[in-house]
């Protein structure tokens, strides 16, 4: 199982989501956190993915962009310690940029 870090929205995220397998996890970091914002387009994105593909967002990057109170309920908050833990819990890390 793979942890996918995604640091941009758009093409990076859609390529990642098209290749991520069931049981993998996606961690949104840097500008990738915009995909965790509660809006229609993002809601559709996360509703379309398999239910056992977990999505996390780095809360420090979310806060840095003023989005802390605009997070989608489908996305799980993660801090720096959780980021490190996630890399140990999954077998490999793929970084999408």
- The residue from 4, 7, 17, 25 that contacts other proteins (CB under 8 A) is 7
Nearer of residues 40 and 88 to other proteins, judged by Cβ: 88
Distances, alpha carbon 80 to alpha carbons 11, 53, 61, in Å? 25, 20, 10
By CB under 8 A, is residue 88 in contact with other proteins? yes
- The residue from 10, 31, 43, 50 that contacts other proteins (CB under 8 A) is 31
Of 28, 39, 42, nearest in space to 76 by CA: 28
Backbone dihedral angles phi then psi of residue 7, each to the nearest 5 degrees: -110, 10
By CB under 8 A, is residue 44 in contact with other proteins? no
- In the numeric block, the tokens 């961690």 are attached to 27
By CB under 8 A, is residue 83 in contact with other proteins? yes
Of 91, 80, 95, 97, nearest in space to 23 by CA: 91
By CB under 8 A, is residue 95 in contact with other proteins? yes
By CB under 8 A, is residue 34 in contact with other proteins? no
């Amino acid at each position: 199982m793979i942890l996918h870090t995604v640091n941009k929205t758009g093409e990076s995220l859609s390529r990642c989501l098209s290749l991520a397998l069931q049981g993998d996890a996606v961690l949104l970091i840097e500008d990738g956190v915009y995909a965790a914002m509660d809006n229609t387009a993002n809601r559709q994105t996360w509703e379309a993915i398999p239910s056992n593909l977990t999505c996390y967002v780095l809360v420090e990057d979310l806060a840095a962009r003023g989005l802390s109170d605009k997070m989608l309920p489908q996305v799980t908050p993660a801090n720096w310690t959780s980021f490190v833990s996630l890399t140990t819990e999954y077998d490999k890390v793929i970084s999408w940029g």
